[in-house]
Amino acid sequence: MDLTDQKVLVLGGSSGIGFGVAQAVRAAGAKVTIASRSAEKVEAAANKLGCEGVTLDTGDADALESFFADRAFGHVFCSAASTKVAAVRELPLEDAYGSFDSKFWGAYRLARAARIEEGGSLTLVSGFLSVRPKPGAAIQGAINAGLEGLTRGLALEFAPVRVNCISPGLIKTEMYDRLDGDGRKAMFDGAAERLPAGRVGTPENIAVQALALMANPYMTGTTVFIDGGGAIA
């Protein structure tokens, strides 16, 4: 999985899954640019990675169009999203709309604006709730399913640019740092016991698949589940 001198853009690359992917593609020889809407987080992450960092919000269609006006990438990966999850009758409508706007429409706006070199790839991130729903998370399952459907349609529209989707399960990221230490450990330990893989995921696990989707010229229109067996457990 050699990406030597290929230009790769990672949106959401300042933390979590995106940061893990940025690390992996840089190690594979790519020229990496990370992007996030937080200038402070982008600067810190870019300094740590030794790569270019830009402030970019997938919620801003004009900014995306301007950013891509004079540049193209071999591969684009997007994990940037901010969503709120609660039962349908408990989640305020504005939060439901905002979640869709961030994760689904953010990816749509990115796909519409992005300039990707022929034979390159766009990789989106959904989540296994698209096929394994649970009470209290219908909104997230619907968003994820929408992204997977969008992936298939874009793969036809954008060919020969390849479009794929990664569907993660529970991944250990900074997102869970808000939980106290014992609560976080109990959640991860409980999940590991229920999963066939016997463990929860890490950003590095997702990065392996992201690299494969970028490097494999025979993969497009595909959603790959990296969930420790969560979709079948």
Amino acid residing at 68: F
Domain map (residue ranges) of the chain: 7-225
Question: Smallest Cα–Cα separation from 218: which of 138, 174, 164?
Answer: 164
Model pLDDT for residues 148-167, shown as the tens digit of each residue: 999 999 999 999 999 999 99
Low-confidence ranges of the chain (pLDDT < 50): none
The two three-digit tokens of residue 35, written as one number: 């992007």
pLDDT the model gives residue 175 = 75
Compute the Cα dihedral for 176, 15, 201, 143 and give only its sign.
positive
pLDDT the model gives residue 53 = 98
The CATH superfamily assigned to 7-225 is NAD(P)-binding Rossmann-like Domain (3.40.50.720)
Model pLDDT for residues 21-63, shown as the tens digit of each residue: 999 999 999 999 999 999 999 999 999 999 999 999 999 999 9
Residue 155 vs residues 15, 99, 109: alpha-carbon distances, Å: 27, 24, 16
Measure the CA–CA gap between 116 and 159, rounded to whole angstroms.
Answer: 11
